[in-house]
Chains A and B, each alone.
Chain A
Amino acid sequence: MDMFFIALGLLLLGGIFPFFVNDNSKIKICSYFAGLSTVVFVLYSILVLLTGKPIIANIYLSSLFGNVNFVIDALSAFFILIISVMSFIGIIYANGYLKSYIGKNKFNISVHCFFLMLLIASMIGVVTVQNSLLFLILWEIMSLSSFFLVIFESDKKEVISSGIKYLIYMHLSVIFIILAFALLNIYSGSLNFMDFSELLSKNKHFSNIVFLLAFTGFGIKAGFFPFHNWLPDAHPAAPSHVSGIMSGVMIKTGIYGILRILYLISIPSKLMAYTVLIIALLSSMYGVLYAITQHDIKRLLAYHSIENIGIIGIGIGIGLIGIVYNNPVAAVLGFSGGLLHILNHSIFKELLFFSAGSVYKQTHTRNIEYLGGIIKNMPYSSLLFAIGSIAISGLPPFNGFISELLIYGAMISGLPAPNTTVFITIIVSLASLAIVGTMAILCFTKAFGVMFLGSPRSEQAANVQNDVEKIMIIPMVILAFFALIIGIFPQYAASLVLSPVSLFIQGEIIINVFAILIQLLSYISLLFFVFILIILIITGLKFFISKKSRQYSTWGCGYDKPNNHMQYTASSYADLFVSTLKPMFKRIAHIKKPKELFPKDAYYEVEIEDIEEAYIVKPLLKFDEKILSKFEKIQNGNIQQYILFGLIFLLIAIIGLKYFG
């Protein structure tokens, strides 16, 4: 465990060093340190995942914390693996991405590097520490450091406002987590997770309440509906490598929290299973529905994070239903699918954010309506985005398919269910996952087709000269490679999740189920090779048979001077679908009608607002403002008075403690 702390120290050191070197080598230093620590973390986590035995360090920190347990059990190891590797890849990408920001005074690279390393270190800390107080402190460090990463381009007004929104949501999240831990602390008299476990397994109602509080708190971090609103604002505001790390890695700490609580509870109740499943189903549907309407590529990807977090949740939910109704096959498959999807999502979501970032770097726009035709000048980025799109849509032979197959498998092995409720739930989940899959296809054909294909829709897109530099391509190639490898060798990926899954499901049966699963996946792997072989044979045959070819313009009913504005746009592509589901969206149209005899300018712009934000969050905020504006007077800028308020508060607190404590 010593090496583990040294690696954590290395991360922090890598965060401090950049203050003392010149601008060009700051992020380089970070990547060296992150690389070194990643090696250590990967070794630790592989060791734990293979043996299944936890590594424990018990350290006396101070009288406040008492003895703090740092534990790398299978669950932590799985998350450490994802956090360290994916963050490292993100930092390599940042080497290229940050180049255009270097040398400008308004961007402080050193501070950015510091918080980047701090974020990684705190995430690793969060998933290993088993003491609730230290957990909360690290959790807060994680939220704050990511806040500073989000507001990197702080000269822009919208960046600051999304940053603040993010901060508020994160603190809403931490309130619920504190409540859950406080309850546990009061009844167990301890800060250690171990002691909670005993308490939680005894009292069913108590564990339900704790779970709901923790699920809300961690769910906000993970981006579950209806607390997802920070995601679509924070991701576009952050620089691309940060969006990649946040969406690919950081929101998974929310999932980690939920899983940790479930592990501590050990015997889940029906309430927990249905809560997780229903919220997850809603999140996945909601996320993908709104993703279809977005034109800002990073907002679109952020909504897809909500969808994928939903899919992870569906896996876990079905797994829980399997445990509750004593169906170990469904439980094992559900948990494996959910956990594997955590890994898969971090891979393809980073890949997509990075390739979208490359496009942003070359074109300076995130609006896909202004793009098009850049596949010719940015061949690598577009191929990589295509791979990411196929993977995230859950299509074979990439990794997204494997985890979705496992989740489908869990649902089907849950049939025939013990009663009607479960049966209908499973069938509804089956249909929802299917519809989410097809909507993802709709969304990503739109994103890929409009961004990269066709002819350029604007000057920016037409002026792209070349692809991004190698240092940005390489991390994406690694990610695409991971996506393919997990897709065509699913049996090895599945064995990665064996030990974390066995934490949740008791009994010997898990080994048998896993043996069958691995056998099935090896067979599927073989089938994918057949598939690739078929593609190669057909390609060869086509090459052999095909006659000469020539180039001509696109068919336009005999009109051979098509221009860029005749193409289908992202809005028109999605319009048929969006207009079919009209009640689900709030459309705001900005129209300027053509006037006068010789109209000069006219436009029609449609914006789609999140209904959850428009009808729930905003009215709540308005209500809040109405009440709080009554207290405006006490904010008078007089420091003496503020000190007085502080004193009064302390007095009330002391009196309160005296009488109720």
Chain B
Amino acid sequence: MLDIFINIFILLTVPFLMIGVIKKTKAFWSGRKGINIFQPFWDFLRLLNKETVYSSTTSWIFKITPIINFSVIFFASLFVPMANGLAIINIPFAFIIFSYVLALGKFFTLISALDTGSSFEGMGASREACFSTLVEPAFFIAIGSITALTQNYTFQSLKLILENAGIYGYLVITLAIITLFIMLLIECSRVPVDDPATHLELTMIHEVMILDNSGIDLALILWTSAIKMFLFASLISALIIPTGLPQIISILLFLSIIFIISIIIGTIESSTARYRMTHVFEFVFIMSITALLILTLVTYKLYGN
């Protein structure tokens, strides 16, 4: 029971801090003082108090999308192992439910972008839809291969069994971390796939889809995307943290990994530029390649002799 409360507490607080840490890191690399790491949280509160402007072209789809999206991400987070490597809900095939629930959110984001009748937002939607067709299969290949090793279909048990698989297990873990990290960059629209801080609509992917959202809607969307990034970071940390540690150490380790990931993201954003749209595909394919490498390793481990 305590685990659940810890998880929910972390879920509600840490995502904004992650954004804060990323912004702080970027400020550090560009030699600025930067914002307080709690600033995203204050921004959120400020947005809650603002008036909402709806385009006269939009319909109810546009209004419910932020709600659906937030509910989706909250629901999906129940399946992700967080502090102490425990997920709130542990059922077989959790990763399928996880990715399909996230896809429901994506469905609404896409149609809400088309609802505004804006050419920019249609463009963003087109890009997002196209990239996600390439991300999902790689994710499924990676997770599918790993489940073949473990025979247990919950996120949580992955780690334990991988550790017992010896050198192959560690190789698979490393590759899985790379796959998930690339997936994080794509799904959460970070550099080099997308630049959340850009000012030019033509180059955006995710940001451009929410151009018309304002006030409480925008607040919800920002929170949603922060939590989404946090979830992928938690999946990565669930693969790193060794099993069998005392609870308090495990939680501390979890938090520090989350912040290290944020720092890495911040550093990448300061040191590289966004790819050209055509090159984004090549980046997305790296993920497929790491997924296929996992598949090869697992195949070798299972049938090599």
Contacts and interface: CB of A to CB of B under 8 A. Distances in A.
Interface in A417-451: 417, 419-420, 423-424, 426-427, 430-435, 437-439, 441-442, 444-446, 448-450
A52 interface: no
B93 A409 contact: yes
Interface string B77-116: 0100000000001011100110111011011001101111
Contact of B140 (A430, A554, A574, A577): A430
- Which range contains the number of A residues in contact with the other chain? 35 or more
A548 interface: yes
Contacts of A396: 97, 100-101, 104
A95 B145 CA distance: 52
B144 A568 contact: no
Contacts of A147: none
A420 B299 contact: yes
Interface in A339-389: 372-373, 375-376, 386, 389
A416 B126 contact: no
Nearest to A450: B114
Contacts of A453: 59, 61, 111, 114-115, 117
Contacts of B138: 431
Contacts of B289: none
B49 interface: yes
Contacts of A394: 100
A572 B61 CA distance: 21
A491 interface: no
Interface stretch (A153-161, A530-538, A632-640): A530-538
Given A405-B93, A449-B114, A437 B53 contact: no
B222 interface: no
Contact of B115 (A433, A442, A454, A580): A454
B153 interface: yes
B29 interface: no
Contacts of B125: 445, 449, 568, 573
A551 B55 contact: yes
Interface in B19-74: 48-61, 64, 66-68, 70-71, 74
Contacts of B212: 554-555
Nearest to A523: B91
Given A455-B117, A538-B67, A572-B122, A438 B132 contact: yes
Given A441-B106, A520-B91, A416 B149 contact: yes
Given A416-B149, A549-B53, A572-B122, A520 B92 contact: yes
Given A445-B111, A534-B75, A549 B133 contact: no
Query: Which of B100, B101, B125, B138: most chain A CB closer than 10 A?
Result: B100
Interface in B206-252: 211-212, 215-216, 220
A542 B147 CA distance: 39
A438 B295 contact: no
Given A376-B59, A423-B148, A445-B107, A576 B92 contact: no
Interface in A13-61: none
A625 B52 CA distance: 66
B99 to A, nearest CB: 8
Nearest to B119: A566
A424 B303 CA distance: 11
Interface string B119-152: 1111101110110110111111100110111010
Given A430-B144, A445-B111, A534-B75, A553 B55 contact: yes
Contacts of B68: 535
Contacts of A432: 137
Contacts of A401: 100
A408 interface: yes
A583 interface: no
A550 interface: yes
Contacts of B48: 545
A577 B64 CA distance: 27
Contacts of A454: 57, 114-117
B59 A375 contact: yes
A442 B144 contact: no
A408 B93 contact: yes
A546 B140 contact: no
A185 to B, nearest CB: 44
A546 to B, nearest CB: 5
B13 interface: no
B144 A576 contact: no
B117 to A, nearest CB: 4
Interface string A460-503: 00000000000000000000000000000000000000000000
B263 to A, nearest CB: 31
A435 B295 contact: no
A441 B61 contact: no
B302 interface: yes
Given A535-B67, A576-B130, A445 B114 contact: yes
B164 interface: no
A133 B75 CA distance: 55
Contact of B144 (A386, A412, A445): A412
A652 interface: no
Contacts of B58: 554
A94 B119 CA distance: 38
Contacts of B106: 441
Query: Which of A416, A419, A535: most chain B CB closer than 10 A?
Result: A416
B149 to A, nearest CB: 7
B256 interface: no
Given A453-B114, A535-B67, A555-B212, A568 B123 contact: yes
A530 B107 CA distance: 20
Contact of B74 (A373, A408, A430, A534): A534
Interface in A579-632: 580
A520 B94 CA distance: 11
A654 interface: no
A419 B144 contact: no
Contacts of A427: 141, 144-145, 148, 295
A547 B103 contact: no
Nearest to B59: A375
A80 to B, nearest CB: 31
A142 B106 CA distance: 41
A539 interface: yes
A556 interface: yes
B151 A395 contact: no
A557 B148 CA distance: 51
A445 B133 CA distance: 13
Given A396-B100, A427-B295, A567 B91 contact: no
Given A390-B104, A445-B107, A557-B201, A412 B153 contact: yes
Contact of A415 (B49, B101, B147): B147
B92 A449 contact: no
Contact of B53 (A438, A531, A552, A556): A552
B51 A548 contact: yes
A549 B54 CA distance: 7
Interface string A279-297: 0000000000000000000
A562 interface: yes
27 contacts: A375-B59, A393-B103, A395-B100, A408-B93, A412-B93, A419-B303, A423-B299, A424-B299, A431-B138, A433-B140, A438-B133, A446-B129, A453-B59, A531-B75, A539-B64, A547-B49, A548-B51, A551-B53, A554-B55, A554-B118, A554-B212, A555-B118, A562-B117, A562-B119, A567-B117, A568-B114, A573-B125
Interface of B: 48-61, 64, 66-68, 70-71, 74-75, 78, 89, 91-93, 96-97, 99-101, 103-104, 106-107, 110-111, 113-123, 125-127, 129-130, 132-133, 135-141, 144-145, 147-149, 151, 153, 201, 211-212, 215-216, 220, 281, 295, 299, 302-303
Q: Which 10 A-B pairs have the closest CB atoms?
A: A568-B122, A449-B114, A454-B117, A415-B148, A434-B140, A549-B52, A445-B110, A431-B137, A554-B55, A442-B129
Given A441-B129, A531-B75, A577-B126, 6 more contacts: A424-B299, A433-B140, A434-B139, A546-B216, A556-B118, A568-B119
